[in-house]
Amino acid sequence: MKKLFACLLCLFMLVALVACVHQHNFVDGKCECGESDPNYQPDDGNEDPFENLALMSYADYVAAEIDDPVYIEAYVQAHQSWWDNKITVYAADEDGAYFLYEMACTQENAAKLTAGTKIAVKGYKGEWAGEVEIMDATFEFVEGGDTYVAEPVDLTDVLGTDELIDYQNQLAYFDSLTVKEISFKNEGGDDIYVTVTKNGHDYSFCVEVYLTGTDTEVYQTVANLKAGDTINVTGFLYWYEGVNTHITEVTKVGVLSYDEYAAAELDSYVIVDMYVQAHQSWWDNKITVYAADENGGYYLYEMACSEEDAAKLTAGTKIRVYGYKGEWSGEIEIMDATFEFLEADPYLATAKDVTEYLGTDELIDFQNQFVKFSGLTIASIEYKNGEPGDDIYVGVSYGGATYSFCVERYLTGPDSDLYKAVMALEVGDVVDIEGFLYWYEGVNTHITSVTVK
């Protein structure tokens, strides 16, 4: 019995050895051993679909029918991890974007698919659950090609509209989304599904683990998000039964403290809670507000506001402001802002005496705050229009230097006590002044009270 087993084993080993040294000789995709050629494409009498296919523009590509062969040149923007001689690539040119699904690629070439690299791609236009992609693709590097990395497109306003799909596969940016739910595809370590809301509608975004692995900052940030968080999102506008952005970057947008606001870059989007201190007159659904919190002052230039809401912007009212940090002739302000009312006890700043800082570089640190100056001498009084009714330019001198302050008529108009008091001032009067530390090519306090000593 043992001998019989030994003989059988030897026979099997012999067969195995023969099989190992066998070189496939494929004829019509078949080897005599019965093995099939994985790369075999039967000659069905048709021409090679790519043989005479001209290079397509993005518009040509968009116009192509599903399942048509397509031939494009594009620039790699990012890719998912290489696997089994395939790679999924997010690509773009200046006109649009492409999703190259499981494109044939050696591991060696995958390493060369860095962002910006120009490649020529041949494949078939496909569609899967709404996602338009290039399938069964092959590619070549474009020798001597330039590079291009697309900037994110701000699609916040397009979210929820039929236009959104026109940006499919592009690198998109969405502003101020609210996190509704965070869930994992499996346990932690797999894709993260992020449900966000904007303007009352829910959208499903995704952290695709093959694009942004688990060790990345974006993965960790998203994993730790909580319902109610506000986030700015950048990602590729993938589609799966609707928008399903593959997130590449996320910024948690908290309400900024004054210090964070002060440190924020110009033109950045900011959200700040603050208290109204005063405002200029409402006009054309806009209002300019002087605001403050315990740590600093804010100037909200022409903030969107209904006339009804303007009436509620009384001194001390707490509001949350959404807008862009801007600068105009030295004045730091929040531009293109909107706001909402917050429930809170009112806060009114007390005037901070900054007389000692006049003429120093430190004065600007108090910009937009409610301040007071003591012992200033009136150097000049000039009406903007040459007569009462418009702004009054008040020249004040202190420590041998003269500064330009202002009675801003939209803040304290000709009927106000302040306007009348300033009209009555004479050159040489020594005064104490309170006001908001506005800036125009230097200090230009908007005066709210004046007291002759």
Partner 1 sequence: MRKIILLVTLLLLALVLCSCHGSEERVAFEIPESFDATKEYKIVFWAKNENNSSQREVYNRAIEEFEALYPNIDVTIKHYTNYDDIYNDVITNIQTGTTPNVCITYPDHIATYISGANTVVPLNDLVLDAKYGLGGSEVRFDAPTYDEMVDEFMDECYIGDRLYALPYMRSTEACYINKTYVEALGYEVPDILTWDFIWEVSNAALEKNSDGTYKVNGQSVMIPFIYKSTDNMMIQMLAQQNAGYSDATGSIQIFNDTTREILKTIAANTKSGAFSTFGIASYPANHLNKGHCIFAVDSTAGSTWMGSDAPLSDVHHGSIVDFETVVRPIPQYDVDNPKMISQGPSLCVFNKEDTGEVMASWLFVQYLLSNETQIAYSQTEGYLPVTSKAQQSAEYQDYLARAGEDNDKYYSIKIDATKMLMDYTECTFTTPVFNGSTSLRNAAGEMIEDVAKAVKRKKNVNDKYIDKLYDDVTALYRLDQIGSFDGKLRLGELPATSVALLCGIGLTWVGIITYVGVSYFKKRRSRN
362 binds partner 1 (CB under 8 A): no
Closest CB 275 distance from partner 1, rounded Å? 27
How many C-beta atoms surround the C-beta of residue 234 within 10 A?
18
Which residue in 324, 366, 398, 410 binds partner 1 (CB under 8 A)? 324
Find the shortest distance in angstroms from Cβ 236 to partner 1.
14
Contacting partner 1 (CB under 8 A), which of 140, 336, 356, 365?
336
Integer Cα distance of 124 and 69 in angstroms: 4
Q: Kindly tell me which of 167 and 347 has the beta carbon lying closer to partner 1.
A: 167
Helix, coil or strand: residue 380: strand
- Report residue 400 as tokens: 């041998």
Of positions 56, 100, 150, 406, contacts partner 1 by CB under 8 A: 150
- SS3 readout for 22-57: CCCCCECCECCCCCECCCCCCCCCCCCCCCCCCCEC
Q: Torsion angle, CA of 356/360/361/365, rounded to 10 degrees?
A: 20
Check binding of 302 to partner 1 (CB under 8 A).
Answer: no
Least separation in angstroms between residue 95's CB and partner 1 is 8
Q: Which of residues 241-300 bind partner 1 (CB under 8 A)?
A: 267, 269
According to the binding rule CB under 8 A, does residue 328 interact with partner 1?
yes
State yes or no: residue 89 binds partner 1 (CB under 8 A).
no
Stretch that binds partner 1, among 16-24, 139-147, 215-223, 322-330 (CB under 8 A): 322-330
Our finding on whether 353 is near partner 1 (CB under 8 A) is: no
Sequence letter at residue 409: R
> Taking the chain, what is the end-to-end CA distance rounded to the nearest angstrom?
125
Q: How would DSSP label each residue in 393-413?
A: EEEEEETTEEEEEEE-TTTS-
What is the number of other CB atoms lying within 10 angstroms of the CB of residue 434?
Answer: 19
Tokens at residue 308, please? 């009804």
Integer Cα distance of 325 and 305 in angstroms = 18
Give yes or no for residue 384 binding partner 1 (CB under 8 A): yes
- Does 167 participate in binding partner 1 (rule CB under 8 A)? yes
The verdict on 153 binding partner 1 (CB under 8 A) reads yes
CA distance 14 to 7: 11
The single residue listed with the structure tokens 């890719």 is 79
Which residue stretch of 20-28, 64-72, 323-331, 367-375 sits at the interface with partner 1 (rule: CB under 8 A)? 323-331
Asked if residue 163 binds partner 1 (CB under 8 A), the reply is yes
CB under 8 A: which stretch of 123-131, 304-312, 383-391, 445-453 binds partner 1? 383-391
CA-wise closest residue to 396 among 357, 324, 444 = 444
Question: Over the Cα atoms of the chain, what is R_g?
Answer: 34
In the complex with partner 1, the residue whose CB is nearer, 166 or 417, is: 166
Nearer to partner 1, 166 or 353 (CB): 166
Interface residue list for partner 1 (CB under 8 A): 95, 150-154, 157-158, 163, 166-167, 173, 267, 269, 324, 326, 328-329, 336, 384-387, 389-390, 440-442
